[in-house]
């Protein structure tokens, strides 16, 4: 009997929040030859418009829940979550469904909808990094973990922004169909199976293969010493290699130079501190080895398209 997964939509939901998990479950079911049954739900059924303007046909949520068909319920995120988190019909449905499903999940700002229903009180949870301060401010009983890709607290799973819905789906697939199927699904979709680290725009350690490979321990050492002068010679000595052999081997294995890898690791930590602390930009730059704030500003522009000050202002708006 295939597992039935309900995806709860509302007007102005984020299309990728839904399409990413849908594709993940489709591919996993095909690989395992145990297809999931996917049901698109909304408060009253009928067409629901995403924030991109794409309209998706849904069935009324109450009918699926009352029939006891759902194994897992996932609430999508998006701009419409601001209304959905206050919509009495949506919140009543979620409260009723929570006790009937095996797993209750959210993608991105869908966590605020679950929180609006009181379903995250006393639980650890995450959401899109831009909305995490709002989640913590509006719902103080929620134990917000803003830098996680996804969080499981008992039967409740929450995930970070947009593409993190795929990470969440892969974790659910691993629980249902096994690690091998989840890994094969990720390979088929050409996505990372697991992204260690936080939910910055990219996790540098994950992108660089920070948990495996010949330079795994070196990458961890670099991250612990970002404030130091990390020349090729210093890194080569840490790896017990000559500078020339080290540089060639590292670039071949990682796909980028040692200097560029160090910069990416510095950027990952710098972004987290810029967005989530009140430390002066100058102090962050000095403490992470950029030394000159202007040098860090140029690196931010290359990587994120915005200077540190603009990213801090954006994060504080929540």
Q: CA neighbours within 13 Å on the CB side: how many for 179?
A: 1
User: What percent of the chain has pLDDT above 70?
Assistant: 90
Chain-centre distance for alpha carbon 269: 16
**Which ranges constitute the DSSP H helices of the chain?**
15-32, 61-66, 81-84, 88-98, 110-116, 132-138, 164-177, 179-189, 204-207, 216-224, 232-238, 243-254, 258-276, 281-287, 293-304, 308-317
Average pLDDT over residues 79-94: 96
Query: What's the whole-model pTM score?
Result: 0.64
- Digit-coded pLDDT (tens) for 173-226: 999 999 899 989 999 998 877 654 445 434 455 455 544 568 888 988 998 899
Instruction: Indicate if the pLDDT at residue 256 is higher than 50.
Output: yes
DSSP 8-state assignment for residue 67:
T
pLDDT of residue 37: 94
pLDDT-derived band at 252, boundaries 50, 70, 90: confident
Q: Select the more confidently predicted residue: 17 or 310.
A: 17
- Digit-coded pLDDT (tens) for 53-67: 999 999 999 885 555
CA distance 195 to 204: 9
Chain-centre distance for alpha carbon 1: 30
Q: Which residues are catalytic?
A: 108
Residues 6+ apart with CB under 8 A from 266: 226, 288, 289, 290, 299
- The answer to whether the CB of 87 falls within 8 A of the CB of 43 is yes
Q: Six-digit token pair at 102? A: 């095996």
- Facing residues of 59 across strands? 41
Backbone angles phi, psi at 154, to 5 degrees: 65, -130
pLDDT-derived band at 34, boundaries 50, 70, 90: very high
pLDDT of residue 24: 97
Q: Six-digit token pair at 8? A: 């709860």
Instruction: Indicate if the pLDDT at residue 121 is higher than 50.
Output: yes
Domains in the chain (CATH in brackets) are 4-189 (3.40.50.880), 204-317 (1.10.10.60)
Q: In a 10 Å sphere around its CB, with 0-12 CB exposed, 13-18 middle and 19+ buried, how is residue 73 labelled? A: buried
For the chain, the C-alpha Rg in angstroms (whole number) is 22
């Amino acid at each position: 009997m295939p597992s039935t997964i309900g995806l709860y939509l509302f007007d102005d939901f984020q299309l990728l929040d839904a399409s990413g998990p849908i594709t993940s479950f489709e591919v996993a079911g095909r690989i395992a030859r145990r297809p999931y049954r996917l049901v698109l739900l909304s408060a009253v059924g009928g067409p629901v418009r995403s924030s991109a303007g794409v309209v998706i046909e849904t069935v009324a949520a109450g009918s699926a829940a009352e029939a006891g068909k759902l194994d897992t319920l996932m609430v999508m995120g998006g701009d419409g979550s601001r209304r959905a988190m206050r919509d009495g019909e949506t919140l009543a449905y979620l409260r009723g469904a929570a006790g009937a499903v095996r797993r209750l999940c959210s993608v991105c700002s869908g966590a605020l909808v679950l929180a609006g229903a009181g379903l995250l009180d006393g639980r650890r949870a995450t959401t899109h990094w831009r909305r995490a301060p709002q989640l913590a401010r509006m719902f103080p009983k929620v134990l917000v973990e803003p830098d996680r890709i996804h969080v499981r607290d008992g039967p409740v799973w929450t995930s970070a922004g947009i593409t993190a819905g795929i990470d969440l789906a892969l974790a659910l697939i691993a629980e249902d169909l096994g690690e091998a199927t989840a890994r094969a699904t990720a390979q088929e979709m050409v996505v990372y199976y697991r992204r260690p680290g936080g939910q910055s725009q990219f996790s540098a350690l994950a992108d660089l293969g920070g948990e495996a490979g010949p330079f795994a321990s070196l990458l961890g050492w670099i991250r612990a010493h970002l404030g130091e002068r990390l020349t090729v010679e210093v890194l080569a000595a840490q790896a017990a290699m000559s500078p020339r052999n080290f540089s060639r081997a590292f670039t071949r294995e990682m796909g980028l130079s040692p200097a560029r890898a160090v910069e990416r690791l510095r950027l990952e930590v710098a972004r987290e501190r810029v967005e989530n602390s009140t430390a002066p930009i100058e102090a962050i730059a000095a403490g992470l080895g950029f030394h000159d704030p202007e040098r860090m500003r140029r690196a931010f522009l290359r990587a994120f398209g915005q200077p540190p000050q603009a990213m801090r202002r954006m994060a504080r708006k929540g």
